[in-house]
Structure 1
Amino acid sequence: MIGLTLNGGLGNLLFIYAHAYYLSKKLNTSFVLIKHGEPILLYRYFNVERNTFYYIDQIFFEHKGFKLFFSHYLRRIYLSCMQLLFVSKVVVVNNIEDPLIVLNNVKDGTVYEGYFQSELYFKSYANELKQTLTIKEKYANEYLKNFDWLKTKKKIVTIHIRRTDYKDAFGYLGLGSSNLILPFDYYHQLIKEIHHPLHFYVFISDDIAPVKAEFAYLPNTYFSEENEITDFQLMLNADICIIANSSFSWWAAYLNKRKKTVYCPKYYLGFLKEIEYPTKIYPENWIQIAVR
């Protein structure tokens, strides 16, 4: 058995799950996702493989009769027992490590902690994962009902702008600032280069008001104020994806099954120092744009 510790929001969870899937196939073993706090968003929104450990967790620790504190206390005991029985060591993987070197050293009976933000961490099973990671019918139907009108647009361009939690979150990384929000010029530059009268621009952000003000000059726009799984599907159904340095839009673009074009910020979080961080974050066919 291998274990992976869950951290972060939906995009980070998708990276961690994808690596768990890869390891379970490569090592021919089972996996457990070690979580703390709220139920896993991944299982809420996606049809994904569920193993015995998932069902044990659901039966005993997500039961409506348990108080939240009691449930979490029992889960800690359960996970501690599982690690004593099946796991011999814990390995922490840093985002600066080369994924290919990390993959050469994977072993069963290990708990892995990290974010695994590269396609290389699961590329051998990428096609299987893309078939597996589908949106649950409930959310897919809601999207189709509310956004059927988008089908009338010739070419949909989604633009993801990550703001609120990037303002003061990254000082510990030493990447030039604690604020790693991409400048608006990154988006203006791209829009200028690719603009066509038939483009319909869909803006997605966790802070939509300043985005509306900044891009008010554009015709043919929609500024989303939807929930995260709807925003995810807007990107999932685009012809052109302009993503942020965000695992959320990374995955929406990656799972998009259209013949899409993906534009992404060069160096990802390391754009201020021109240092790629995380290492090998992008698929080879994505177009990396310098951030000025």
Structure 2
Amino acid sequence: MKIVKILGGLGNQMFQYALYLSLQESFPKERVALDLFSFHGYHLHNGFELENIFSVTAQKASATDIMRIAYYYPNYLLWRVGKRLLPRRRGMCLESSTLRFDETVLTREGNRYFDGYWQDERYFAAYSEKVLKAFTFPAFKRTENLSLLEKLDENSVALHVRRGDYVGNNLYQGICDLDYYRTAIERMCAHVTPSLYCIFSNDITWCQQHLQPYLKAPVVYVTWNTGVESYRDMQLMSCCAHNIIANSSFSWWGAWLNQNREKVVIAPKKWLNMEECHFTLPASWIKI
């Protein structure tokens, strides 16, 4: 049996579910399931979102299933404490703290429990069509989204700025600063002539105050997709022709799901403030 722990915001959940799909394909005779228990008492983001957004179904691991391989934690708090105190069991596969890609993940025989974010396209590249199908968004209904969708042409650019929870967080802050976005916009303009910038952010005021001088095309600040509808921002990102992303799994997926074969994706080559970090972006993306 293979169990994948799911936790985090939407982008993280999508990486974990993509690994789940890859394990299903790699081990067709084994049961593959998700551990969702840590969402109990987890108050960040919008909880487990995948089944509410996409037409996905997944096997759910029971407490008994988990205890055969790893440790069963009925809620988020106990998991936070237990993972620091209890030793790793033989079947537990923990993601490297440096985010180094582990090529053995999809070949490990026997009962395995996967705990990590697995933010690397190589974990599911062989089954990318299945992942694309799983992450098919429902049709837009809101007027603002439909109106913007009509304006998106072959030169539209999605630009994502993540501040809010990143500001003051030593792991994330300072990577995608104003200089990054200024350079990213310049690089984008060297490849295409933007017709429209769609700005997505949890700090629109900062974007309006700092980015506007560098945006030499019409701009739409997308402010209306909030709460449980926040995923619509990712959907719109995927509908734009090109993408400038932040060091965020949310806009990573917005760019990856973009099916424009001529897309230009610009991303930060540094993902986290760590002395050793082996996070790897897709080869075709421009890293700055």
With the shorter chain as reference, the TM-score category is 0.7 to 0.9
| In structure 2, C-alpha distance between the alignment counterparts of 1:95 and 1:24, rounded to whole Å | 25
1:216 is the counterpart of 2:199: no
Residue aligning to 1:31: 32
Q: Is the CA contact 1:170–1:179 (under 8 Å) kept in the aligned structure 2?
A: yes
* Unaligned runs of at least 5 residues, structure 2: 71-89
Secondary structure at the residue paired with 2:62? helix
Preserved CA contact (<8 Å) 1:162 1:181? no
Matched to 1:241, the amino acid is: N
Q: Give 1:143 deviation, angstroms.
A: 5.2
Structure 2 residue 63 is the aligned partner of structure 1 residue 80: yes
CA apart distance, 1:85? 5.0
Cα 1:180/1:143, change in 2 over 3 Å: farther
Per-residue deviation, 1:22: 0.6
Change in CA separation of 1:185 and 1:20 when aligned onto 2, cut-off 3 Å: same
User: How far apart are the structure 2 equivalents of 1:216 and 1:267?
Assistant: 24
Shift of 1:16: 0.6
- Paired residue type of 2:9: G
Q: Secondary structure at the match of 2:212?
A: coil
Q: Decide which of 269, 274, 287 is 2:272's aligned counterpart.
A: 269
| Length-normalised TM-score, structure 2 | 0.78
What amino acid does structure 2 have at the position aligned with 1:122?
Answer: F
Q: Aligned with 2:140: secondary structure?
A: helix
1:160 and 1:203 in contact (8 A); partners too: yes
Please list every run of at least 4 consecutive aligned residues from structure 1 whose deviation after the TM superposition is greater than 4 angstroms.
85-88
The SS at the match of 2:103 is: helix
Q: For 1:223 and 1:264, locate their aligned partners in 2 and report how far apart those are by CA, in whole Å.
A: 20
Distance of 1:224 and 1:246 partners within structure 2: 17
2:184 aligned residue (190, 193, 204):
190
Deviations 1:109-162 (A, max 9, x none): 111101101001111111221122111x3xx23257733344235421110011
Identify if the C-alpha distance between structure 1 residues 198 and 279 changes in structure 2 by more than 3 Å, giving closer, same or farther: closer
Cα-to-partner distance string for 1:32-64 (whole Å, 9 max, x where unaligned): 21122265111111122x2443xxxxxxxxxxx
- The equivalent residue for 2:150 is 151
CA shift for structure 1 position 255: 1.0
The aligned length equals 251
Which moved further from structure 2: 226-235 or 30-39?
A: 30-39
CA–CA distance in 1 between the matches of 2:163 and 2:244? 15
Amino acid at match of 1:286: W
Q: How well do the aligned residues superpose, as a CA RMSD in angstroms?
A: 2.5
Q: Structure 1's 81 and 197: CA in aligned 2 closer, same or farther, altered over 3 A? A: closer
What's the CA shift string for 1:238-273, capped at 9, x where partnerless?
111000010000011111112221111112224x86
Equivalent residue, structure 2, for 1:8? 8
- Answer yes or no: is the 8 Å Cα contact 1:95–1:278 preserved in 2: no
Q: Does the C-alpha gap of structure 1 residues 167 and 220 become closer, same or farther in structure 2, counting only changes over 3 Å?
A: same
Per residue, is there more helix in 1 or in 2?
1
Q: Deviations over 1:53-102 (max 9, x none)?
A: 3xxxxxxxxxxxxxxxxxxxxxxxx8321224577722211242542434
Gaps of 5+ in 1: 54-77, 172-177
Instruction: Summarize the Cα distance change of 1:115–1:149 in structure 2 as closer, same or farther, 3 Å threshold.
Output: closer
SS of structure 1 residue aligned to 2:4: strand
**Structure 1 range deviating more: 83-92 or 10-19:** 83-92
Percent identity, aligned pairs only, is 27
| Conservation of the 8 A alpha-carbon contact between 1:100 and 1:120 | no
* Contact kept? 2:34, 2:58, Cα under 8 Å: no
> 1:223 Cα deviation (Å)?
0.8
Task: Report the Cα distance in structure 2 between the residues aligned to 1:52 and 1:15, rounded to whole angstroms.
Answer: 17
**TM-score, length of structure 1 as denominator length:** 0.77
Question: 1:191 aligns to what SS in structure 2?
Answer: helix
